[in-house]
Structure 1
């Protein structure tokens, strides 16, 4: 059975109090607790401060607290096969008394905060300066997840701790304990790698494992993508909504599915973003995530009518997602489809068959646009509007595989159209005598 004892190595007035954790005959680790005491106030019999004054009583309580913490974590970590060594013990002492220096960038969560604090001067791809608000928001969310995992695991994460054992435990916690989706959990691994690579550039020692970490995502065969077709959008347009809130959401659905922007970019649009020229109505958008200026041409008559004559009131993304299912239900978007929902009791993701309106969210807008116009227009044109930069990522987004024949067909179609504009000419091939 493991034992935890406190001891002094000095008879001085300011003697360091050490702790010894004996796991087995061959495994004993020792570290300073960070506390000092006059050796005259130490009881060799109890291995604790004598109860002679208030200061000694407070110190004794702190050591008892540490002993309790170590027993709890030790038993748990032994069961999990965690390496018990000096680093482990030092980590647990600091965790118990919350002694981590917030300026110490060797601490993983501190470096995440460092990146957030310096986001405005961070150099990004293309030589641009400053991270977008969306990226900063994602880093803040990631930091909260790491802090929550630290509380769960009762350990402060250092860069040197990010090894295979750590990432496997983190993955299990994300998927099994927190019940996060595979894609959302995999995204946290992308953040780990990004932070570690950035830290490495600033001469912080990181593990090879952390900089070669591979993110993961749900397999294509397990994905269920739910979009609104052109016919379903027309159905929504022709359905009378009973309340003002539902009418507002109805308008944003129709605009969103015809301009192909992310939710935040969609809801930032005002009448000032709309302009007309000889060819029609254009909407100018500055995409928050990419920082790109994008212009979308709008041709659908009922969307034009909304934009020109009945522009919707501002609304939050949360409000959209709260009412969107109801709008689609009233519009009878009720084809039975498969998809995942979270069981309210078990908190597990379950594959079920339900009417489509149960699965439509604001994420469906951009995806509906991309899906509906795919193969109707050149893929690069669609990607320039949605903000995708790589065709393979775009095709995964709409759950499509690259169709080489379709690309060849499109090329021949454009070639035929190009040649049809050329006037026939008479040429003399060869003069016959």
Structure 2
């Protein structure tokens, strides 16, 4: 006689007769185990059919949705049980509770389990791992990179609060991509480039999870799972404007001091975090040498005549130290004083009405036409340096100073307008005719 294997069985039931009663799920297999856990779902009294294993018609709950979810849970538990045989898992009450929580998108409180199922939990684990992870160059990941990962995590948590749903890694579909971008645009009022940074992080997290063999939606690999961007309208200062700044006379000492730092930034191409920290120790045999903070890359640049004059004016020393914030504030005043009032396209931080973390007003970038002096920030130094030298010396030399790794990145960074390119060609033809 053929022997049939006894299958594990699952059954839902109500234990009480209160006004509202919790549905429990009992899962057993002959004498191997008999376990039971709450599903966390409650229904009104006398609306449960034990024979039909379903919630009866009622206006108090969405009974059709509950019935559908219960059938799905039973199917899921059976599937998980079959999978457990391959993993030699212990089937007990904790196992069942964990599987029920996973099915209903609830955290299991098991850190390792939650980290391979839920997106936000995975990102938390990713960030912790990144804090001690080495790059290909055997250096630790930059603190600002970790900070950006954390900001992306916060945006995901805000999205989950907005949608009232906890995301699983398998939920990262094109539909999620569309809704997440829409949320960041309409609710968070973020610009495409900022959103693109968060999407890029998500792709990084997804790739990492995929390589580890963690179950995840593969739709993040599709071209439709794109990174939003818009062409930035950053400005730069041309040689005429820089010379105006250099030759301007400021009676206020704080502006004179800031102007000197401004010229040093414009003539070295360093980031503000680097040039504001220059000291006489960085002056070596007619060059300025600096180990840059962002790239840990040593940069050596000859001293420009204007920088040399500033150093001589200050008896061989650099200007008085000021903070990045004060520098940004003062250079706007300087550019206003020399009347850089041309209306140009750009973006600047402006207050907007938006509720975030209980606050009514926050700040976001606003794109519009502004007087040029209002758009001046510390980063204009490095961009002006690169833009003004482009076409005068070889591109590789400029890239070695600015730290751009590819020419395509560099060309996207510099801000020469179409008219300026045309003027360069005009000058070239004129000089060629004279020759």
**Could you state the TM-score of these two structures normalised by the residue count of structure 2?**
0.66
Going from structure 1 to structure 2, the CA distance change for 1:29 and 1:244 (only over 3 Å counts) comes to farther
Tell me the residue number matched to 2:284: 276
Map residues 56-71 of structure 1 onto 2, 5 A cutoff: none
Map residues 14-413 of structure 1 onto 2, 5 A cutoff: 16-19=38-41, 22=62, 24=64, 28-30=68-70, 90-91=104-105, 93-94=106-107, 101-103=110-112, 104-106=114-116, 107-125=118-136, 127-212=137-222, 213-219=225-231, 223-241=232-250, 243-272=252-281, 274-277=282-285, 280-288=286-294, 290-302=295-307, 305-306=310-311, 309-341=316-348, 344-345=351-352, 351-399=367-415
Q: Could you tell me whether the CA contact under 8 Å between 1:22 and 1:29 is conserved in 2?
A: no
Distance 2:155 2:236 in 1: 30
Over aligned residue pairs, what C-alpha RMSD do you find? 3.7
Going from structure 1 to structure 2, the CA distance change for 1:264 and 1:111 (only over 3 Å counts) comes to farther
Distance 1:269 1:177 in 2: 42
1:393 positional shift = 1.3
Distance 1:180 1:209 in 2: 24
1:190 positional shift = 1.0
Q: Could you tell me whether the CA contact under 8 Å between 2:264 and 2:307 is conserved in 1?
A: no
Distance 2:153 2:170 in 1: 18
The number of aligned residues is 339
1:366 positional shift = 1.3
1:354 positional shift = 2.6
Q: Could you tell me whether the CA contact under 8 Å between 2:383 and 2:415 is conserved in 1?
A: no
Going from structure 1 to structure 2, the CA distance change for 1:14 and 1:350 (only over 3 Å counts) comes to closer
Distance 1:241 1:5 in 2: 79
Distance 1:207 1:15 in 2: 29
Distance 1:399 1:266 in 2: 21
Name the SS for the 2:62 alignment partner: strand
Q: Which moved more, 1:198-207 or 1:329-338?
A: 198-207
Tell me the residue number matched to 1:428: none
Distance 2:187 2:144 in 1: 27
Q: Could you tell me whether the CA contact under 8 Å between 1:249 and 1:320 is conserved in 2?
A: yes
Tell me the residue number matched to 2:89: none
Tell me the residue number matched to 1:45: none
Distance 2:212 2:65 in 1: 42
1:401 positional shift = 9.6
Q: Could you tell me whether the CA contact under 8 Å between 1:120 and 1:129 is conserved in 2?
A: no
1:208 positional shift = 1.7
Q: Could you tell me whether the CA contact under 8 Å between 1:269 and 1:285 is conserved in 2?
A: no
1:380 positional shift = 0.7
Offset from partner CA, 1:186-205 (integer Å, 9 cap, x none) = 11111111122222333323
Tell me the residue number matched to 1:77: none
**Could you state the TM-score of these two structures normalised by the residue count of structure 1?**
0.67
Going from structure 1 to structure 2, the CA distance change for 1:8 and 1:209 (only over 3 Å counts) comes to closer
Q: Which moved more, 1:251-260 or 1:237-246?
A: 237-246
Name the SS for the 1:353 alignment partner: strand
Offset from partner CA, 1:158-200 (integer Å, 9 cap, x none) = 3222111111111112222211121111111111111222223
Distance 1:173 1:331 in 2: 42
Going from structure 1 to structure 2, the CA distance change for 1:401 and 1:364 (only over 3 Å counts) comes to closer
Name the SS for the 2:69 alignment partner: strand
Q: Could you tell me whether the CA contact under 8 Å between 1:324 and 1:360 is conserved in 2?
A: yes
Going from structure 1 to structure 2, the CA distance change for 1:194 and 1:265 (only over 3 Å counts) comes to farther
Offset from partner CA, 1:353-389 (integer Å, 9 cap, x none) = 3320011112212111111111111111111111111
Offset from partner CA, 1:327-378 (integer Å, 9 cap, x none) = 2112322222222346645678655333200111122121111111111111
Offset from partner CA, 1:219-256 (integer Å, 9 cap, x none) = 4xxx3221111221222223344545434432332222
Distance 2:191 2:176 in 1: 19
Q: Could you tell me whether the CA contact under 8 Å between 1:334 and 1:355 is conserved in 2?
A: yes
